Amino acid sequence: MIKIDTPEKIEKMKTGLNNLAKGMIRPIARKYDEAEHEYPKELDVFRSMPIMGKKPKKNGNEPAKGKTADAGEFKVGQNLGTVVSVEEMCWGDAAMLLSLPNAGLGNAAIAAVATEEQLERFGGKWASMAITEPASGSDSGSIQASAELDGDEWVLNGEKIFVTCADRCDVAVVWARVKGVEGSSAIKSFIVEKGTPGFKLEHLEHKLGIRGSDTGTFVLNNCRIPKSNLLGGDSDKKKKTEGFKGVMKTFDNTRPMVAAMAIGVARAAIDFTREKMEEAGIAIDYTENPNNVSAVVRDFYMMEANLEAMRLLTWRAAWMADNEEENTLEASMSKAKAGRYGTLITQKCCELLGPMGYSRKYLAEKWMRDSKIMDIFEGTGQIQHLIIARNILKLTRNELK
């Protein structure tokens, strides 16, 4: 397998987070899988930690683009550190990662495009992202929730489903279509605070996996919010960059994070499978000719190879983001590969484990259930392949549907 040396600070972070996942996250994984919708109070310890949704302040001494004083020519920055962290935490439990206070997808959107005034108001709040609708899934451009400007207020109407952290969040970043505006530029994001009249949490979903993370439906019925709650503001300068395209760019950072989630869950399954194989006397010997090993060992080799490919694609996408390189293609490649093969790996592990892979005594069956969502949310695998094809073939959205 390929071995890439990572910076010492990344290795130290990995070790620390793995210890945290092993000592705190993994032990409560089954508890909250069974107690669906119950908030994991053990995670309150993370409320005082740095959160997504606040941009780092510049001190005027930053290296030039693509340079950094302590890493040679290129940056090893926040995005790479994040995907490494996410993998380790999801090795502990993916639902617990999604339940971390103030770390919702909405926080990432706020961090990416919010004005300074919005960061001051909402940067310390837990923000969910409300995009999906009953008739609009992975095609975010087809959403029908409406927004109409009435004086100094926006009036929002519509329904948003499968919202992560719907019950636990303080605010929601709601995507809606501005009335009277044509095309994708009509789609804007609005920050809606819990408790706003006309903004209701309709119900919570009962799910196959990541049951420790709450998922719900919002209904907006003539919900009025201040004009200033339009994410990114409404100045002419910002219109071209902070509208639909601006917030869509958030996914170039968050899709590698979802890929890292799949890696963490798949790695947990592989580690457990290796442990049980060795207990059964099945040794993994990499010096053996692959043609001379058992079918079980050959399957294990293939799982490890795919896991490494998932990780390298994800690290590549994150590294490009840190170095301010266009990474839409690489972000979708990492999400497509990791989402699909994370599911296949956890299924294969359950197959190889036999009864241990089906019993609730162990977590293998839970990892198989949890992994499926990584191939679905933040753009299904099919949508990622479509994005990849458009980028490689240099075709527009209208030219390749």
* CB 261, CB 94: distance < 8 Å: yes
**Between vectors from CA 248 to CA 261 and to CA 344, what angle results, nearest 5°?**
30
Which candidate, 7, 18, 164, places its Cα nearest to that of 99? 164
Which candidate, 132, 10, 136, places its Cα nearest to that of 71? 10
Catalytic residue list contains 87: no
Set 133, 304, 365, 378: catalytic member:
378
- Distance, CA of 268 to CA of 106 (rounded, Å): 27
The four Cα atoms 287, 291, 297, 302 give a dihedral, to 10 degrees, of 90
CB contact burial 103-117 (16+ within 10 A = b; e otherwise): bbbbbbbbbbbbbee
- Distance, CA of 83 to CA of 335 (rounded, Å): 12
Which candidate, 69, 107, 74, places its Cα nearest to that of 325? 74
Amino acid at the residue 7: P
Q: How many CB atoms lie within 10 A of CB 365?
A: 19
- Distance, CA of 319 to CA of 52 (rounded, Å): 18
The residues carrying an active-site annotation are 378
